[in-house]
Structure 1
Amino acid sequence: MIIYYGTPAIETERLLLGKFTLTDTQAAFDHWLSDDRVSDNRVSAAHQSVSETRERMNRILSDYESEEFCYWAIKLKESGELIGEIDIYDIEEATGNCEVSYSLGYRWWNKGYGTEALKAVVEFGFRHMNLHKISAAHNTDNPASGRIMSKAGMVQEGTIRDMIRNSKRQYKDCAVYGILQEDYLNKNGEAGRFLIKVCFTAR
């Protein structure tokens, strides 16, 4: 059975994962949502105005009312700077399976932050939510994202041709990755619990 906690605060060695606030709007726009280098790896087009980002942020804030909504802002622990986002979505009650996606601002690529955030969310999903399987996908022309998935323990399960069509109406093949709770726990045992610190609020 899946156990829902909404979007609790998660602390890793270098990162703080938590809920977005409306004050994050400008930084989200500046750091990744308006950047074509990031949007090329997303389905949605780069935002052209901060009002688009504000509208998106308001939807996220409204969805936090549901305990089934898991959507984190990624911030640097040392400075509090907003650098990206990560979420668990398409959670299936019948199977316990779900998907995860993430985006980081270009300035913070290749610094290990994506791997650190994904490892934390995978651990949270398996150890606290009792999920059965976590899946993710990346465009095959973005192999760096696949390395993040591999470092988080995911294995490539195949490639789906023309899986998405991006904002430029270009079809993209995607490599699909996954990890099972059983495999994660067998590999990590009790040691994984020290990877993250999760702060739950009273329910």
Structure 2
Amino acid sequence: MSSYPTPILTTDRLTLRPLTMPDAADLFAVFADPLVVRYWSAEPWTSVSFAETAIRQALDAYRDGSEVRFGIELADTGVLAGTVNLHHFFPQNRRCEIGYALASAYWGKGYATEALEAALDYGFHELRLNRVEADIDPRNAASAAVLERMGFRKEGYMPERWIVHGEMADTVNYGLLRSYWDARA
């Protein structure tokens, strides 16, 4: 089994780091916001216990090295503003999936792009991934813009793949190859 450590990464405005139990209140604030989970197949969190469970799962992933889960911390305030995760690794094929969420108060400021750029660079250059995949609801134009800014390409469309907040929702599949990533530079 491969091991995927979660290091601490820094950018101009962010620190990407492992989650810890003291992050529970900030993490709860992110996922309790209906705007953040609008396109997720889960309801907004209703109690900080959801955050505590998510952090326990992250701690397990750190111990067994099965996922790379970053908390996105604002460097100037120390506030945990979201998460970015590399998960569902397929070591034989050097690929995984990426997921991310950012508190709505921080949308439109370039933080998601900055966080994904750091996580993807780590994945491609330190973990030696060849491919990273994402799937999003096609109505989530902001997320599509972030992925496309990173060099992801639309690769497929799956109608009615999820039930999101009681309604059928489609998926757009995106892929990013290391060769695309390296060509950006």
Please list, as runs of the form range in 1=range in 2, the aligned pairs for 1:58-69 lying within 5 A after superposition: 58-69=56-67
Partner of 2:167: 170
Partner of 1:29: 28
Matching residue within 46, 71, 74 for 2:72? 74
Please list, as runs of the form range in 1=range in 2, the aligned pairs for 1:176-195 lying within 5 A after superposition: 176-188=173-185
Partner of 2:127: 129
CA–CA separation in structure 1 for the residues paired with 2:64 and 2:78: 26
Query: Contact 1:4–1:129 (CA<8 Å) still a contact in 2?
Result: no
After superposition, the Cα gap between the structure-2 partners of 1:187 and 1:107, relative to the gap in structure 1 and judged at 3 Å, is: closer
Structure 2 residue 24 is the aligned partner of structure 1 residue 6? no
Partner of 2:83: 85
What 5-or-longer segments of structure 1 have no aligned partner? 189-203
RMSD between aligned residues: 1.6
C-alpha displacement of 1:5:
4.2
Identity %: 26
Deviation sequence 1:119-141 (CA, Å, 0-9, x none): 11111111110101011121111
Partner of 2:150: 152
What 5-or-longer segments of structure 2 have no aligned partner? none
Amino acid at match of 2:57: R
Higher RCO (C-alpha under 8 Å, 6+ residues apart)? 1
Query: Contact 1:84–1:102 (CA<8 Å) still a contact in 2?
Result: yes
Show structure 1 runs of 4+ deviating over 6 A. none
Query: Contact 2:67–2:88 (CA<8 Å) still a contact in 1?
Result: no
Query: Contact 2:36–2:103 (CA<8 Å) still a contact in 1?
Result: yes
CA–CA separation in structure 1 for the residues paired with 2:97 and 2:4: 17
The alignment's TM-score, normalised by the length of structure 1, stands at 0.86
CA–CA separation in structure 1 for the residues paired with 2:8 and 2:131: 22
Partner of 1:45: 43
C-alpha displacement of 1:144:
0.5
Determine helix, strand or coil for the equivalent of 1:126: helix
CA–CA separation in structure 1 for the residues paired with 2:167 and 2:60: 32
C-alpha displacement of 1:37:
1.0
C-alpha displacement of 1:165:
1.6
Partner of 2:159: 161
Determine helix, strand or coil for the equivalent of 2:89: coil
Determine helix, strand or coil for the equivalent of 1:20: coil
Amino acid at match of 2:183: N
